[in-house]
Structure 1
Amino acid sequence: MLYVHIVDRSLEDRLARACSTILFRWAEAQAREVGAARGLDVQQIDTGAFEGDDRQHAWLSGAGFTKVRTWWQMSRPVRPEEASLVASAERWERKGVVFRQVRRVDGMPDEDDLRAVHEVLESAFTDHFNSAEESFEEFEHRLREDPGHRWDHWWIAEIVDGGGAPEPAGALVGTVSEGGPGPAGSYVSYLGVLESARGRGVATGLLNTIIADAAERGRDRVGLEVDADSPTGADGLYVAMGWRTKYVTQSWHKDVPVG
Structure 2
Amino acid sequence: MTDNTSAAMKPVIPGPLPEGIAVRTAGADDVPALLELLRADELAAMGETSLSAGEVDEWFDTPRALERNTALVLQRDGVLIGVWRVFRNFDDKYWAQVAIDRSLPAELVDELWEGGLAWAEQVALTIADGLGVTGPRLDLWVNEHDALTRRHAEAFGFQQMRAFIEMQIDLDGYVAPKPDPASPVVVRQAEVPDDGAADLRTMYQVISESFRDHYDFQLRSFEDWVETKHSDQLADPTHWYLAEIDGEAVGGLMGHNSYLEADNAGYVANLGVLRQGRGRGVAKALLRTSFTRYAADGRSAVKLHVDAESPTGATHLYESVGMYRRLVGFDFHKWPRA
Please say whether Structure 1 and Structure 2 have the same fold, judged by a TM-score greater than 0.5: yes
Aligned match for 1:174, one of 252, 255, 259: 255
One-letter code of the match for 2:220? E
On the 8 A contact 1:42/1:257 being kept in 2, the answer is yes
Aligned match for 1:150, one of 225, 228, 236: 236
Q: Percent identity?
A: 31
Structure 1 residue 244, shift from structure 2 partner: 0.9
Alignment of structure 1 residues 161-200 onto 2, 5 Å: 161=246, 166-176=247-257, 177-178=259-260, 180=262, 184-200=264-280
Aligned twin of 2:150: 57
One-letter code of the match for 2:97? V
Distance 1:86 1:23, change over 3 A: farther
On the 8 A contact 2:214/2:311 being kept in 1, the answer is no
Aligned match for 1:25, one of 96, 118, 126: 118
Alignment of structure 1 residues 185-224 onto 2, 5 Å: 185-224=265-304
Aligned twin of 1:235: 315
Tell me the distance in 2 between the aligned counterparts of 1:37 and 1:144: 26
Deviates more, 1:6-15 or 1:241-250: 6-15
Tell me the distance in 1 between the aligned counterparts of 2:129 and 2:273: 33
User: Could you report, residue by residue, the CA deviation over 1:145-189 in whole angstroms, capped at 9, with x for unpaired residues?
Assistant: 334211212211122x2xxxx322111111121353xx6110111
- What RMSD in Å do the two structures reach over aligned CA positions? 2.5
Number of aligned residues:
243
Runs of at least 5 residues in structure 1 that lack an aligned partner in the other structure: 88-92
Tell me the distance in 2 between the aligned counterparts of 1:218 and 1:109: 29
What is the DSSP-based 3-state SS (H/G/I as helix, E as strand, rest coil) of the residue aligned with 2:149?
Answer: helix
**Is 2:208 the partner of 1:122?**
yes
On the 8 A contact 1:46/1:253 being kept in 2, the answer is yes
Structure 1 residue 8, shift from structure 2 partner: 2.1
User: Could you report, residue by residue, the CA deviation over 1:197-239 in whole angstroms, capped at 9, with x for unpaired residues?
Assistant: 1122110011011101111110010001121122322111111
Distance 1:128 1:81, change over 3 A: closer
On the 8 A contact 1:5/1:47 being kept in 2, the answer is no
Distance 1:32 1:116, change over 3 A: farther
On the 8 A contact 1:20/1:59 being kept in 2, the answer is yes
Distance 1:112 1:26, change over 3 A: farther
On the 8 A contact 2:254/2:269 being kept in 1, the answer is yes
Tell me the distance in 2 between the aligned counterparts of 1:217 and 1:200: 28
Larger Rg: 2
On the 8 A contact 1:158/1:169 being kept in 2, the answer is yes
What is the DSSP-based 3-state SS (H/G/I as helix, E as strand, rest coil) of the residue aligned with 2:95?
Answer: coil
On the 8 A contact 1:80/1:216 being kept in 2, the answer is no
**Is 2:103 the partner of 1:10?**
yes
On the 8 A contact 1:86/1:209 being kept in 2, the answer is no
Tell me the distance in 2 between the aligned counterparts of 1:134 and 1:86: 37
Tell me the distance in 2 between the aligned counterparts of 1:96 and 1:128: 26
Structure 1 residue 37, shift from structure 2 partner: 6.2
Structure 1 residue 110, shift from structure 2 partner: 4.7
Runs of at least 5 residues in structure 2 that lack an aligned partner in the other structure: 1-93
Tell me the distance in 1 between the aligned counterparts of 2:130 and 2:249: 33
One-letter code of the match for 1:237? L
Aligned twin of 1:100: 188
Distance 1:46 1:103, change over 3 A: same
Distance 1:85 1:27, change over 3 A: farther
What is the DSSP-based 3-state SS (H/G/I as helix, E as strand, rest coil) of the residue aligned with 1:42?
Answer: coil
Structure 1 residue 257, shift from structure 2 partner: 4.2
Tell me the distance in 2 between the aligned counterparts of 1:6 and 1:68: 21
Distance 1:66 1:72, change over 3 A: same
Tell me the distance in 2 between the aligned counterparts of 1:131 and 1:102: 24
Distance 1:247 1:204, change over 3 A: same
Tell me the distance in 1 between the aligned counterparts of 2:127 and 2:249: 33
Distance 1:227 1:114, change over 3 A: same
